[in-house]
Every structure is written in structure tokens, then in C-alpha cells.
A and B are shown apart, each in its own frame.
Chain A
Amino acid sequence: MSAGTPQAGDAGAIRPLVRVRGLKKSFGSHRVLDGVDLDVAEGSVTVLLGPSGSGKSTLLRCVNHLERPDAGFVEVAGEIVGYRYRDGRLHELPGREITRQRTQVGMVFQQFNLFPHLTVLENLIEAPVAVRGVPKPDAVAKAGELLARVGLDGRQSAYPRELSGGQQQRVAIARALAMEPRLLLFDEPTSALDPELVGEVLGVIRDLAVGGMSMIIVTHEIGFAREVADQAVFLDGGRIVESGAPADVLDRPGNERARAFLSAVL
């Protein structure tokens, strides 16, 4: 893919899909993000690593404006997320505009967050039909394709509680894909799963990486990170303390905190 490909002649490389600059966020007196800069190239996979409380999830949630940053900005596909710049000020966008921006960014949660009162099929077609105005038969056909892709075709009429955790998470991935997002965010997608179910979910994410989907993944699965990531980022105390190729960050970390953490989880 285009990730890392140097552009000949032209002054700059291709504008990254995601640009994070000077991002700061506090909850009360606790500073969770303390000036984060990050680029994610289109079609590339970035993994966010770090101890709990280091700000990984908050950074991820700022990318689709589930959290409002205190300072700095996130840009996705050339648009500032959640704000419009005018006369030296960033004005927060009205709800409708934020909603529109979010349709470009899919998100998969640690606790799956499938809608328990809707069937698998209804979970998948709700947003495409309601938000993008896809005709229902088309949405249903698309849902079938996506379920086949995550290995769950035929489970359309099941309710989420009838599925295992791994199956629920695969449905959640299919649900995010149904909106045809340009970017997928994963917030510890396998942390709530029994060990024997982790593999099936990682397999689906691996297939997406091979297919060229742009993704930012918060995970503690170091082996998986090394395998799929184009870029690994290590956060500690709300700052990026280490970033680069997975082999460098994971195997030869310069930062002492990163070295201690990685040797503990490996």
C-alpha cells in the first residue's frame, strides 16, 4: 500500500488519513493525554500499546469525537474532527455534522456493545438504512456478505446473547464494516474474550489488514501487533514515548518504561 512510500518530487508525501496534533485531555485534575502527535497513513495499521491508564483508549475515542479534547486537534481525511476553524477559533460542530463525520470511522469496543434487543441482521442494517439511506434489501444482502466474511453467515436471526463472545465481537466488526468506513478503531477487541476465542477475532482483523483497511488498534496482544502492524506506538503517562516500525518498538525499545512493560507482557 501507499504507507511509507516516499513521494518523488512533490514537496510533501501524501497527506496521512489521520493526523493528530498536540492532543491534550484531562479528566478532572488527571491529565490523560499530554500532547500527542500521530500520523496514520491510508491503508496502514497502527497499534497503540502501553500500560492501563496511559491514554490509549482516550486517544482512540478522540478520533471519532466520543471524547472532546481540551487542546490540539484530530484530522481524519482532511477534516478536523468535531470542530470547524473560523476566525482563529475552533467552533464545535452541530450534532448532525459530528454524526456525519462518524460515519467515516467505524469502532469496535472491548465489550462488543451489540444491541441486545436486535437480531444480528438488525444490528448490521440499522445504521446503513437509517443513516446512509441504503435500501433495505441492499443492506440485507450486504450484511450477508459481511457475515460470511467474518465466518458467521446463517446467524442473521440470532440474538447477541445466543452467541459466544468471539462470535459477538465478529458481528461487531461486521456491523462497523457495514457503514463502509475509511478507518476502523479497535479498543482492546480481545480483552473481554476467553483465551480460546481470541484467535478467531484476531483472524478477522488480520484479514482486514491484508485487505488494506486503515486501522488503529489498542491491544495487549504483542505477537499480533508485531505481525499486522505497519506502525507501533507506545504510550506512557499520556505521551508517546516510542513509535516506529513494530520490530524496533517491540524488540529494541529505547524507552525504559516501554522495555519494562514489554518484558512483563511478553
Chain B
Amino acid sequence: MKLQKATRFGIYALLELARDPSQQLSASDIARRYAISTNHLAKVMRELGRAGLVEAERGVGGGYRFVANAKRVTLWDVVSLFESLYGETAEPGQDTETGQALGMVLGEMGEIAEATLRSITIDTMLRMRPRTRAADAA
């Protein structure tokens, strides 16, 4: 499964900021850490701001801060800001018997992906990273 760039950048940024909610980081600080486009990330940060997940502080030393509840915000909340897992437009042949059967299979896959994303909070992701590092070191 592949996420759109904006979704992936949004998750990167939220995890960086949520790790220490008292810190402020600029879009370019975060972009540098992940070697991604600052311009693209800046647009993503504005979307995260509109969703109430981060707040921008202006001026010298300004930047973004995480202002949501890391135990409540899930990956689904972030993904939903930037993309839909379900087709929103009609697909050719979708009303045929085969098209409907294919729709059932794709719907099942979407529901499982949605359940996974809805069950993983930002806090869980933050605690998953050290576990991943420990597994790499083992």
C-alpha cells in the first residue's frame, strides 16, 4: 500500500512535533530531516493547522507546535485530510456483476486498511519507533 506524498509528509511532521509538544520547528527544519520539499511540506503544514493539529507561531524562533491530543489523533485523521481510500468517482463497468464482485473485494481491503489506520494513534506511533530501532539492533 502506498500513501500520497502529502499524507506521508503530514505524518512525518506530526510525529516530529508530537515527540516534544513544547518545541517549535519550522517547515524547513522538518523538511531537512526527511530530505523532502520544503514548499510541499509548507502546504501540508497549513492543512494540519486548519485541522487544529498544529499551531503556527510567527516571528524569530517561530515555527509549528503540536497542539492536539496524541492519544486521540489517529493515522486515519491525518490520511483523511489528504486522500480517500475509497474511490469517489464511478469506475467503468462497476455496475456489472464482475464489477460489483470486484467492488466487494476492494471494499473489504479498504475497510481493513481503515480499521488499521483508525486504531493507531500518534502516541502509539511514537512508541513504535524505539521498538523498530530495537528490532533493527537485535
Tell me if chain B binds chain A.
no
